[in-house]
Chain A
Amino acid sequence: MKPIKFARSPLLSERLPPWRQRLVLVLLLGAFALLIGRSLYLQGFNNEFLGDKGRARFERQIDISATRGRITDRHGDVLAVSTPVRSIWAIPEDAQLAPAQARNLAALLGMDVQEINRKLAVERDFVYVKRQLSPETAEKVSSLNLPGIHQKNEYRRYYPAGEVMAHVLGFTGVEDIGQEGIELAFNGALAGKPGSRRVIKDRRGNVVEDVESVRPPLDGKDIALAIDSKVQYLAYTHLKQALAEHRAKAGGVVVLDADSGEILALVNLPTYNPNNRTKLAGAQLRNRALTDTFEPGSTLKPFTAALALEQGKVRFDTPIQTAPGKMTIGSATIHDAHMHGTLTVAQVIQKSSNVGSAKLALSMKPEDMWAMFDSLGFGAPLKLGFPGEAGGRLRPAKTWKPIEQATMAYGHGISVTLIQLARAYQAFARDGDLLPLSLSRVGVPPTSGKQVFSAQTAREVRAMLEMAVRPGGTAPKAQIPGYRVAGKTGTAHKLESGAYANRYVASFVGFAPVSDPRLIVAVMVDEPSNGKYYGGDVAAPVFAQVMAGSLRTLGIAPDAPLAPLLMTAAEPVREEM
């Protein structure tokens, strides 16, 4: 083939159409415009996305946990506190442990190797291996450097007072959220709100700059209760002894400050250890003093007498004929187990005569009695904020038959909780008025509350109640050397499926020192079954022990000569049921 020189190539001589040149130019310029547009869009108009991506490379959001508030007693002694613990969790897919590693982990956690392997075999993205480990153990676990095993900071709540305070405080769950008692009632205030902040971290994981605080953490508030842990402990030990001695099923003690309405002690038995709740039964958990109602029996008689005095139906020493020890109303008969003959109103209370109380009640209108019980706080919960508070039963006056009005005079056909009963006795311990009860400390106590009786009536009933613990009364065992004491026993048959059974609730409510009452103590013992079951034998001694100890602890001056009033008298007068 004959070579052709490039310059003479026939292809060159061919003229190309000029539009092709322009097309290329336009295409190139178009491509440039596209690039400039895109970069403008990314840099100027829609820079959020890339900005976020960039920040994600060096910024970290850190959660800041908030601690739950402490609960203290009135003197600042810690009753509940949260301290940090660690939980070990795993991503099962990543956690491929060699047998030796698994053995090490098991040894540190105090678990079975098989149990760990079983937990790591589940088909999930997240599994707790062990919760609430001490920080020291957790440190050792992290030094093992196991793949797929992670840790999380959590809090665990400790209750140093243990069983003594169990029902007051309640407890929190594993997530540190209140489930019972104060922990539940005040959960809103106690629980903190975890916060978070955004920071810049360097290569070694140190925080070098705070970008912003997204949400500052809010630590829970500390709560100071009105409870006095010494008084609480006294009440707990003495009630526990009494329950063992009388082989009783359950019991409760409430101690109130008569001046301020503060609850100084609230004990229920049986109880439980809030630090170790592996074996819990419903009966142990119940805060009986607040949630369980019972027919109070004779402890209500003073209120009947007070209303009769208040209405001017009788005076302190008006004689009432209680012979022949029984009284028929409609088709039912009320009994006194012992013949008392003619008694004054004061003696009706002192000797706890059913017939006398019924006669007093029948002289009054049912509406007035209902109004008194209602204003004393019976029939409605006290609204302390505790979970499951009961109100008791107080039927409307319109439905009362005369026999019911008579039995209510001595505490049957009406049911109350122990704390309601203790609060109602404020009316006698104070000058006829009632203060609201408080679980937390009251700074400046109100000088007067809701007036139920006149001061004069309250004084007279105080005198009657003081007679009841003197020789000739139903509760000489409630006496305390050195102090003037007043109170009333109660012994009631228990209602079982609508009928009164031969099981009893023994109770005692009283206050001291009578010259200026400071403390109210209410004791209830459920089903004493060791022979004795009268309130004067079972509950009154507990009252005396708790009251004596509390008066001494609180430094309240004695108001009586030290010589005991009674050491020689024989058996106390049996109260009527």
Chain B
Amino acid sequence: MARLNLLLILVLLGCALSLVSSNHHARKLFTELEAGQKRMRDLDVEFGQLQLEQSTVAAHVRVEKLARDKLGMRQPAPGQIISVDVGPAR
């Protein structure tokens, strides 16, 4: 009887300890998840800001101005355009 009791006490102790450790593990994983989600949100925000920046830099007004003033580009005259037929249109 006493032996059985001792065994049960040991089993109980083991269970209790494993519960503690798994709880701790869960919390650690949760913190990681939290950090990951935060990073996801931050990256999403950054993506939006970069998109904004990209469209500001690639704005047609700016591109046209740069092409004309800095690169000296201009529209080709109608006679300078050669169209190449690559099979049926559309």
Query: Interface of A with B (CB < 8 Å)?
Result: 67, 70, 77-79, 81-84, 158, 160-162, 164, 206-210, 229-230, 233, 237, 481-482, 516, 556-558, 562, 564
- Those of B1-37 within 8 Å (CB) of chain A: 27, 30-31, 34
A562 touches B78 (CB 8 A): yes
- Those of B46-90 within 8 Å (CB) of chain A: 48-49, 51-52, 54-56, 58-61, 64, 78-79, 81, 83, 85, 89
B78 touches A482 (CB 8 A): yes
Closest 6 CB pairs of A and B: A160-B55, A481-B78, A233-B60, A78-B51, A557-B89, A78-B55
Task: Report how many residues on chain B are interfacial, defined by Cβ distance under 8 Å.
Answer: 24
Q: Which of B48, B55, B83 contacts A82 (CB 8 A)?
A: B48
Chain B, interface SS category: helix
| 19 A-B residue pairings within 8 Å (CB atoms) | A70-B51, A78-B55, A79-B55, A81-B52, A83-B48, A84-B45, A158-B52, A160-B55, A160-B59, A164-B60, A164-B61, A206-B31, A207-B34, A208-B27, A209-B27, A229-B60, A481-B78, A562-B79, A564-B78
Bound: A391/B56 CA distance, A: 36
Bound: A161/B62 CA distance, A: 11
CB-CB < 8 A to A77: which residues of B? 55, 58
Chain A, interface SS category: mixed
CB distance from A103 to the nearest CB of B (A): 31
CB-CB < 8 A to B64: which residues of A? 237
Bound: A104/B44 CA distance, A: 32
Q: Which of A81, A208, A229, A558 contacts B51 (CB 8 A)?
A: A81
Other contacts beyond A84-B45, A208-B27, A237-B64: 16, CB < 8 A: A67-B44, A70-B48, A70-B51, A78-B54, A78-B55, A83-B49, A160-B59, A161-B59, A162-B59, A207-B34, A210-B30, A233-B60, A233-B61, A482-B78, A558-B83, A562-B78
Residue of A whose beta carbon sits closest to that of B23:
A209
Residue of A whose beta carbon sits closest to that of B79:
A562
CB-CB < 8 A to B52: which residues of A? 78, 81, 83, 158, 160
CB-CB < 8 A to B55: which residues of A? 77-79, 160-161
CB-CB < 8 A to A79: which residues of B? 55
CB distance from A345 to the nearest CB of B (A): 32
CB-CB < 8 A to A562: which residues of B? 78-79, 81
Residue of A whose beta carbon sits closest to that of B82:
A562
A557 and B83 contact, Cβ closer than 8 Å, known pairs A160-B59, A206-B31, A562-B78: yes
CB distance from A470 to the nearest CB of B (A): 17
Residue of A whose beta carbon sits closest to that of B56:
A160
CB-CB < 8 A to B48: which residues of A? 67, 70, 81-83
CB-CB < 8 A to B79: which residues of A? 562
CB-CB < 8 A to A208: which residues of B? 27, 30-31
